[in-house]
Amino acid sequence: MNWTNQPVGTAPNALTVRASGVIDAGLRQHMLAIYNYMAAGLLLSGLTAYLVANTVLGSAFFAARGQLTGLGWVAIFAPLGLILIASLAAHRLSAPAIKSIYWGLTALQGVSLAALLQIYTGQSVTRTFFIAAAAFGGLSLWGYTTRRDLSGMSSFLMMGLIGILIAGLANLFLASSTIQFAINVIGVLVFAGLTAYDTQRLKEEHLADMDEQAAAKLQIFGALSLYLNFINLFQFLLSFLGERRD
């Protein structure tokens, strides 16, 4: 607890202690809600991926192994559209509407994960998931507890993210294994950094007197940020650690 603002030689009064306690409790509740939404989103994505990969539902999205149907392509790109809608209309949409977008996005993301299950063995996917979860947990904990200001990282991380997107589009035509390797390495570093940075940002954005509607929106968007960081970190790690099916 920080009492550095107290006059020298005086003890913190009871009101200061109680106020700090309320803020700390509110922050813990706020961050716990974010992590709960994120975990529920990952669970929904995983369940969708399993159903698409292992039941007749998959025929709606895949004509053959690794071959998407028209609906499959829509499902792959739909999350990007939902992210744009939620971001551009954040002030106009209610918290329940944004929450619905979040659940729809995480469910659709399961189709992309199902495609990975067709490429990599289930054992390597499971192993990589736990490695990604451990890395994410450590990075997020560091972002939450460090006293270092991570805001200076944001511009470099955004530049790295833009670089990944541009290089990825270019490599669709070049099909260079060297470029793809570089993309994967940079991708791991960028989303590792974003995990720590976003955790600290979400912690600092919390306000004790925030109204319920604003807090609910912030929690959903916070969960979405961490969810996307985890999904991308997992996918880039899988490119290194995954074992391809024969």
pTM of the model: 0.88
Burial 120-152 (b: 16+ CB within 10 A, else e): beeeebebbbebbeebbeebbeebeeeeeebee
SS3 annotation, 29-44: HHHHHHHHHHHHHHHH
Residue with tokens 């290089």: 167
Q: How far apart are CA 92 and CA 71, in angstroms?
A: 29
pLDDT tens for the chain, 246 residues long, are 343 343 434 444 444 434 445 557 888 999 999 999 999 999 999 999 999 999 999 999 998 887 899 999 999 999 999 999 998 998 899 999 999 999 999 999 999 999 999 899 999 999 999 999 999 999 999 999 999 999 989 899 999 999 999 999 998 898 888 999 999 999 999 999 999 999 999 999 887 667 888 889 999 999 999 999 999 999 999 999 989 987
